[in-house]
Amino acid sequence: MAFKFSLEATDTDTAARAGRISTAHGEVLTPAFMPVGTAGSVKTLTPDELSAAGADILLANTYHLSLRPGAETVREMGGLHRFMGWSGSILTDSGGFQVMSLSPLRKVTDGGVEFRSHLDGSRRLLTPEEAIRLQDGLGTDIAMSLDELVELPALPEVVRGAVDRTLRWAARGLEERERLRSAGRGAMALFGINQGGTDAGERARCFEALGAMPFEGFAIGGLWVGEGRSLGLDMVEHECAQMPRDRARYLMGVGHPVDVVEAVARGVDMFDCVLPTRNARRGTVFISTGRLVVKNAAYARDERPLDPACDCYTCRRFTRAYLRHLFAARELLAMRLASLHAVHHMVQLARRARRAVTEGRYRAFREEFLSRYHSGDTLAPSSAPA
């Protein structure tokens, strides 16, 4: 019950907000980008490097951790914070998204999602209640409600059915947290997830019910799944307009720098995405002037850092030439140094957005960011992979 969200500033020209979340593990400044630590590690990086990059919260995946090493093992080891050595805040997802994307077989009923583990094929059942218990076992600061996702495009009645089920599961998750609390557990905050595909009416209907439930924050789910940036941002704008000012807003799975800057302008507070670090491990990083494919031969003798405007460890210490060599030689240090830049870049982008809001100049910040991002400065003329 340590959770608190306070709004510290709102922009006048846009819907951008600057806020602060308090949890049992410290303060989270918003807008916030949450690096993703899927299996109890943000791939290749230590918790100290995440802190040094400015991260104060990260996301961990309940599906992965509950299969391996198991929520019970994590609980016995003192919870996820202690297990992985991370002293900041943690948000866990419900596990639902990854059941849908990773399990070889799954069956959704009102009871929950039946699935098979992608690791050993064992049959499992994820109910809205179990999703809450697993996250409590991990010791998360912010848990997510189990929701039903539909693949888009979908028939209106399918979208409607998923919204109805998501609402029933949201209520059951809250009830389960109450049961845990009466047993002295369940201290974490709980966020509800709004669904409704790309149907503004369904999304509004979903939030009418969801917004009345005692969630500490609200997430926008089921977007950035192929519907296009413009439609996605429209949905975000409509949803944020409907959401109460005093609750945190989390746009799930979004993390391209341009999307983050545009979604903040529409009122979003929190983001997570594997894209920046997954790209980085493959030799492509976002820098302030665009997308740098550092493994390209064009950078073989480039003595500049990945991003001349960046002050992360990688950019302070190493050249593009060295990074390019490490990728060419398939050295693991390549993935690590690129990931470090990627996390730092996204966390600090959110931090800069926050400062722009508190200083009342978000519109100018956004324009400057976009024009710089599309400039391609310091990038090789050809971006064809080597």
**DSSP letter, residue 123:** E
Distance separating alpha carbons of residues 171 and 149, to the nearest angstrom? 17
Applying CB under 8 A, which part among 21-29, 51-59, 215-223, 318-326 lies near a second copy? 318-326
Closest CA to 26 of 54, 49, 45: 54
Out of 162, 294, 306, 337, name the contact with a second copy by CB under 8 A: 337
User: Does residue 304 bind a second copy (CB under 8 A)?
Assistant: no
Distance separating alpha carbons of residues 126 and 147, to the nearest angstrom? 11
Tokens matching residue 253: 């799975």
Out of 7, 9, 24, 333, name the contact with a second copy by CB under 8 A: 333
Continuous H helices in the chain = 47-52, 62-67, 71-76, 80-84, 96-102, 128-138, 156-182, 200-210, 229-242, 257-265, 275-281, 313-317, 320-328, 332-358, 362-373
- Residue carrying structure tokens 């100018």: 364
Could you tell me if 197 and 230 are in contact, meaning their C-beta atoms sit under 8 angstroms apart?
Answer: no
Query: Minimum Å distance from CB 314 to a second copy?
Result: 9
User: Does residue 319 bind a second copy (CB under 8 A)?
Assistant: yes
Could you tell me if 302 and 283 are in contact, meaning their C-beta atoms sit under 8 angstroms apart?
Answer: no
Distance separating alpha carbons of residues 70 and 54, to the nearest angstrom? 29
Across 320-352, b (16+ Cβ under 10 Å) vs e yields: bebbbebbeeeeeebbbbbbbbbbbbbbbbbbe
- By C-beta, is 157 or 303 nearer to a second copy? 303
Interface with a second copy in residues 10-39 (CB under 8 A): 39
Site string for a second copy, 340-369 (x = CB under 8 A): ------------------------------
For 271, what's the count of Cα atoms within 13 Å in the CB-facing half-sphere?
31
Q: Which residues are catalytic?
A: 93, 272
Query: Minimum Å distance from CB 378 to a second copy?
Result: 18
- By C-beta, is 22 or 46 nearer to a second copy? 46
User: Does residue 183 bind a second copy (CB under 8 A)?
Assistant: no
User: Does residue 326 bind a second copy (CB under 8 A)?
Assistant: yes
Could you tell me if 356 and 342 are in contact, meaning their C-beta atoms sit under 8 angstroms apart?
Answer: no
User: Does residue 120 bind a second copy (CB under 8 A)?
Assistant: no
Query: Minimum Å distance from CB 329 to a second copy?
Result: 4
- By C-beta, is 120 or 246 nearer to a second copy? 120
* 3-class secondary structure, 251: strand
Applying CB under 8 A, which part among 233-241, 257-265, 328-336, 351-359 lies near a second copy? 328-336
Site string for a second copy, 37-76 (x = CB under 8 A): --xxx-xxxxxx---------------x---xx---x--x
Applying CB under 8 A, which part among 135-143, 200-208, 265-273, 300-308 lies near a second copy? 300-308
Distance separating alpha carbons of residues 250 and 143, to the nearest angstrom? 12
Q: Is the dihedral of CA 217, 265, 9, 47 positive or negative?
A: positive
Distance separating alpha carbons of residues 145 and 168, to the nearest angstrom? 11
Query: Minimum Å distance from CB 272 to a second copy?
Result: 18
Query: Minimum Å distance from CB 330 to a second copy?
Result: 9
Out of 57, 144, 335, 356, name the contact with a second copy by CB under 8 A: 335
Query: Minimum Å distance from CB 302 to a second copy?
Result: 10
Site string for a second copy, 71-100 (x = CB under 8 A): --x--xx-----xxx---------------
Residues that bind a second copy (CB under 8 A): 39-41, 43-48, 64, 68-69, 73, 76-77, 83-85, 300-301, 303, 317-319, 321-322, 325-326, 328-329, 331-333, 335-337
